[in-house]
Amino acid sequence: MPDSPRWRRLAACAALSLLGLGAVAGGCGDSSDRATLSVLAASSTREVMRELGVAYHREHRDVQVRFTFGGSQEMAARLPERGAGDVLVTADEVTMNEADENLTGRRRVIAHNAMTIVVRPGNPRRVRGLRDLTRPGLRVALAASTVPAGRYARKIFKGAGITVRSAAEEISVRAVLDRVRTGEADAGLVYITDLKAAGVAASSVPIPALENVTATYAAGAVRDGPNEKEAARFVSWLTSPVARQLFNKYGFVTPAP
């Protein structure tokens, strides 16, 4: 009869199963059949992506999803490093296109968003709209121009015919939100969905639809990643009915199937 650690472990698992202790035996599977997907994602997707990872694991029990969040450009810059990640999720298509040589397969548009003005609770500086951001003495935080949220903000300002001087240029949209939440800035431009994450720690001044922009989120599998096939499957799944429902729950708009 075979005698090895693996054989003894399998025999023990079989015994547990016969005793009806399936939950205890749940860790008895062969770990070599499991995969851990590493997803590099835009910081504005933090809450929804974590729930998406749980939902994906529920459907694909052999796959765990691990996330690293930051500015889209920061995440894309990691791709040339071997084993940096399996999937890239960006808050714009520009960054996704710039990362093209490190990606493989079909890119997917997975969600849309829009911008809003974030202010401190109660709006103590009485910001009423975009043009108020030009007021002398108002401390405005923006994402850097290399960051999707920064590009979107400057596009909005250009369309409105105004010049807004930034008191701080951040590496991610969540850093902008944090500046306002901590009182280091009076106002900033963030995604509408960021206000959901801020809760009562921030207030919003809406930007009219005609002056706003549509932010497009995209996902792609990393070329020669350790889990390339599974990465492609996850990217495709991000447009599934389950994924769309979760994006909508967090305030994102999803493209038509």
8 A C-beta contact, residue 91 and residue 217: yes
C-alpha distance across the termini of the chain, in Å: 55
Mean pLDDT in the chain? 89
Per CATH, the number for 115-211 is: 3.40.190.10
8 A C-beta contact, residue 116 and residue 201: no
Tracing tokens 């547990």 back to the chain, one arrives at 16
Token pair of 13 as six digits: 């698992």
Tracing tokens 């920064």 back to the chain, one arrives at 150
| 31-113+216-249 and 115-211, same CATH topology | yes
> What mean pLDDT do residues 155-165 have?
97
Say whether pLDDT at 27 is over 70.
Answer: no
Say whether pLDDT at 13 is over 60.
Answer: no
What is the spatial distance between Cα 195 and Cα 199, in angstroms, rounded to a whole number? 6
pLDDT band at 257 (very low <50, low <70, confident <90, very high): confident
The domain locations on the chain are 31-113+216-249, 115-211
pLDDT value at position 5?
Answer: 41
pLDDT value at position 82?
Answer: 84
8 A C-beta contact, residue 245 and residue 104: no
> What would the pLDDT profile of 76-133 be if each residue is shown by its tens digit?
999 998 889 999 999 999 999 999 999 999 999 999 999 999 999 999 999 999 999 9
8 A C-beta contact, residue 203 and residue 22: no
Say whether pLDDT at 196 is over 90.
Answer: no
What is the spatial distance between Cα 75 and Cα 54, in angstroms, rounded to a whole number? 21
Say whether pLDDT at 7 is over 50.
Answer: no
CATH 3.40.190.10 fits 31-113+216-249, yes or no: yes
